Structure 1
Amino acid sequence: MKKTILSILIGLLVVCFAGIVSADGIETGIYYEVDVSFDDDVEPGDSFDVEVEVTNIYNQNGTYVDIEDINVEVVIKDIDDSGSDDLDDDDDIDDLEYNVDDSIDFEFEIPLAVDDQSYDIYVTVEGDDENNGTRYTETFNFTVNVEKKRHKLMMKEPVVNYETLKCSRTTEVSVTLWNIGTSDEDVEMTVYNTELDISEKSSFDLDAGDDEDDIKTRRSFVLDLADAAAKTYTFYVKAEYDDGDERETEPFTLKVEDCPTEEPEEEEVTIVEEPTTPVITTPAVVEEETFMDQYGAALLLGLAYLVVIIVGVVLVIRLKKR
């Protein structure tokens, strides 16, 4: 009897704090009802959206309880870093009165180094009783399936050392390639431009698995555009695998410009002036005029007039005496 009661209690605790394991859907606890939506099947590198709708369903002995300061956390267990780390995120939603819901979205990216299996998603909802501050916490469990294709490589965007070439026409391009399928691959990678008749190749093996060191490789190619005319060229990186039946391709561009030529420096012309014989100028001697030089003629003329007047006066006097 005791074992039966204990089993029932354990079952209730599991329902209260862990929910029911399922794919996306609606799960009901004591305090919350959670409606979770996401794609059940994803591939490595996929963007993975989880929408969580939370409803306050807590009815305490016929009394409706408002819950505030609600936080929602989503954890995808053991999916990152070869199954040793989690992907997780959390955020707050509105305070909820009884039978009121609110939604929140979370976005994750499925790692490239991941195993082909199902992973647990835990949605934890926490909130406080508006009246007495009691913390209500429930966790709901869902699953997501990571499915790998048998043959699948993923190429990252090529990284170019120098995208514009002038006087030096050599550059290097690096390419990162991931094996996100389930089969080991024999790969032939080519960097080419048909217009310039450039083609650089590299052949190698790339293992499958969930260890980044095994499924990832980085290859570098040196490109010489010494004979290329000035213009922009589109190059392609191509990785062929599965006996040539599958391929991944990424483009990149290189711009070639004319090398500027240095113009010869103009020689400075120095004009040397011949010395000239200095001309010595003797200043003219100006003699100062005396008073008589300036006014002598006027004085003589004045005296002449005076003599005439005196003579005239004398003659008049004599005539009157007669």
Structure 2
Amino acid sequence: MTTGPQDLLDSASREELSAVIQLLARSVAQHRQKQGFVRLELSAESFGIESEPTGETGVFIEGGEVLEEALELVRAQELAIPATAAEFEEDSQQENRTQFRLNISTPIKVLWPGESKPADVQLMNISWGGVAFHSQQCPAEPGQLMRLMLPRQQGGAIAVEVKVLRVHPADSGAYVSVRFASLSTRDEEKLMAILEHLAGDTDAGQRNFARLTQRLELQFDAVQELESTLHDISAGGLGITVPDPLKVGQSLQTVISTMDERCSLKLRARVVRQEPLKMPNSIIYRVGLKFEHPTAELERRTAELIGQLASFKQE
């Protein structure tokens, strides 16, 4: 799925555009304070140019990615942790949150950006999409990547790359909300085991575990259409049409398969944009998904499934 900067802007509300402008302006100001910036006049030279010199293409593409990241961060912060601990606990119980959460208080470790030694923090809740925790101090800023270590029942831990969504200072330290940014297939299976263990073995716990993962099934009858979809997925994103609205920012367990399920692929995907489309007698929704796996693994797994489809054609 190829999405240009104009598509991103068209999908944003006025409030989101205002927040994105403020965010990017603040980022430029912070870069200038560190004396490491490119003058806006130089960046503006690329506006309106349909074909750039080869050396500038990467900068142009990266600029679009920064715009997407800024818009995504603005939307995610709207869904981040509340302003106080009391509101945080109350909000965790509400059913209209982006992701169902388990309220769990247990010590975990994090590796702050630029640090080499893990720090102890207190987990407050966890969901399929991310976690919230309390820390005595927080040297990270929204938008930064860091590592989070989740303990396993059988010992050891998994280290997951997460992105900071929001940091709220408090008298006792800071409340931090992060989302899972990239998970390998192996670590995703371990995360599932951790979530199931935290949910508990009771009937209520099993119901909570089932609510943690929202499943989106995409089945294809035409092999050619599935192959085209897999090529889009290998590039990191996918556009689909669904009858019911999803929530921007939520993570889904997406299953892509043939109708007979002989070929299937299970992936983590995050909803990054959504647009209602009016039909004669109803409204459907155009949704943009971004897959939460390392690029190399995503390319490998989609290539394997394309290979399976090719072998079935020869049968």
Please give the range of the TM-score, normalised by the shorter of the 2 chains. under 0.3
What TM-score, normalized to structure 1? Answer: 0.19
Larger radius of gyration: 1
With the length of structure 2 as denominator, give the TM-score of the two structures.
0.19
More strand, by proportion = 1
Looking at secondary structure, tell me which structure has more helix per residue.
Answer: 2
